[in-house]
């Protein structure tokens, strides 16, 4: 499971010109799920996301977590994070999980994160054509891969 965390001052997702999710200060997260992912990946990744110290303290040092700053989350499914670009110019998405595996894991990630922070998680819609807007704060962008824990 791959997550791209972007620290934002605001972010939103539109589906068919209607805003589906919107946040202020917090994290906009792109989540890529592959066939080999499990609930163990969700547990590890959600803990890392919640506790990652990438928000500034009073001295301007990245020393605070999402919990510390009472930040919000916008979670967007993004199968293209598992693109293989080794051969040719057309990416292959063979590693990306099919909907029957990915949807339950995406929903489990939503519910796991929702239990961890006091503010309701905002999200896109799995498989929809989404338009994501954000103001990256910093910019700070962190990539987490649950298969690369060491």
Is residue 80 among the annotated active site residues? yes
Distance in angstroms (rounded) separating the CA atoms of residues 26 and 11 = 9
Rounded CA separation 41/108 (Å): 11
* Active-site entry in 9, 80, 85, 112: 80
Exposed e or buried b per residue across 82-106, where buried means at least 16 C-beta atoms within 10 angstroms of its C-beta: bbeeeeeeeeeeebbbeeebbeebb
Instruction: Give catalytic residue positions.
Output: 80
């Amino acid at each position: 499971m791959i997550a791209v965390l972007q620290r934002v001052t605001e972010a939103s997702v539109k589906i068919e010109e209607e805003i589906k999710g919107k946040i202020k200060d917090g994290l906009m997260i792109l989540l890529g799920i592959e066939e080999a992912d499990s609930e163990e990946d969700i547990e590890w990744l959600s803990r890392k996301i919640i506790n990652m110290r990438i928000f500034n303290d009073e001295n301007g040092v990245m020393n605070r977590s999402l919990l510390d700053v009472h930040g919000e989350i916008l979670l967007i499914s993004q199968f293209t994070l598992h693109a293989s670009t080794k051969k040719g110019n057309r990416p292959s998405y063979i590693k990306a999980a099919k909907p029957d595996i990915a949807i339950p894991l995406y929903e489990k990630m939503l519910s796991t994160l929702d239990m961890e922070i006091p503010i309701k998680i905002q999200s896109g819609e799995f498989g929809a054509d989404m338009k994501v807007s954000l103001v990256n704060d910093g910019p700070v962008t962190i990539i987490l891969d649950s298969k690369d824990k060491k």
